[in-house]
Structure 1
Amino acid sequence: MSIYLVSRHQGAVEWMQYMGHHYDQHLTHLDNYETLCAEDVVVGSLPINIVADLAQCGVSYRHLSLYIPEHLRGIELTANQLSNLDAKLEAYEVRRIVKTTS
């Protein structure tokens, strides 16, 4: 099992280290799922369709959750700002609902 941190934000990387959250590899982008194995864990703030893809592969997902006030949107946040915004890792299970035609 490997833990992947997927984020292009340096503040998120520093926050993970500051908070003592372990990860094995940092990726700025998840290009494909071929390198992932069932039982791996991905940490980040990924779109829901990608989280559903990961679940189909047996990969667990931990979301870097926080509520960003409007005045901080669109700027790079520091590890300190993330801590002040009560950032946390939360586990999510997402599944894609496929409609069948009858």
Structure 2
Amino acid sequence: MGNTYFISRHPGAVTWAARRGIPVDRTLDHLEIELVHPGDTVIGTLPINLVARVCERGGRYLHLSLSLPPELRGQELSAETLERLGARLEEYEAVRKPCPEARK
């Protein structure tokens, strides 16, 4: 069993995960991809290119998903607000592929 990393700079998200009993070994503001080893789990809201790198390294990625109304974008959200908005973890896998159109 590997390590579980929660990647977030948002206190409300960290509190939300703790209240849900989600087991986390380390909470980090930023993912250093070299930390990820086969069997590790990364939780957060990472961009797709980092999700692909986590998967390439043998890690599992769980995305903190929610339906965010436009008026709340850019605001710091509390754990209570995340709960009210239906925050949940969803597993994603991503594969990075070369793009022939980008070479033109």
Question: Structure 1-normalised TM-score?
Answer: 0.93
Could you tell me how far 1:98 is from its partner in structure 2?
A: 2.0
CA distance in 1, matches of 2:50, 2:95: 10
**Residue matched to 1:22:** 23
Secondary structure class of the residue paired with 1:17: helix
CA distance in 1, matches of 2:36, 2:85: 31
Could you tell me how far 1:20 is from its partner in structure 2?
A: 1.1
- Encode CA deviations 1:16-35: one digit per residue, 9 max, x unaligned: 011111111000111x2222
Amino acid at match of 1:12: A
Amino acid at match of 2:86: D
Matched positions, count: 100
CA distance in 2, matches of 1:97, 1:33: 18
**Residue matched to 2:37:** 37
CA distance in 1, matches of 2:50, 2:86: 25
Q: Is 1:12 the equivalent of 2:13? A: yes
Counterparts in 2 of 1:43-58, with a 5 A limit? Answer: 43-58=43-58
- Quote the RMSD (CA, aligned, Å): 1.3
In structure 1, runs of 5+ residues without a counterpart are none
CA distance in 2, matches of 1:87, 1:28: 19
CA distance in 2, matches of 1:33, 1:46: 11
**Structure with more of its chain in helix, by fraction:** 2
Moved beyond 4 Å, runs of 4+: none
Question: Structure 2-normalised TM-score?
Answer: 0.91
Percentage of pairs with the same residue:
44
Amino acid at match of 2:35: T
In structure 2, runs of 5+ residues without a counterpart are none
Could you tell me how far 1:94 is from its partner in structure 2?
A: 0.7
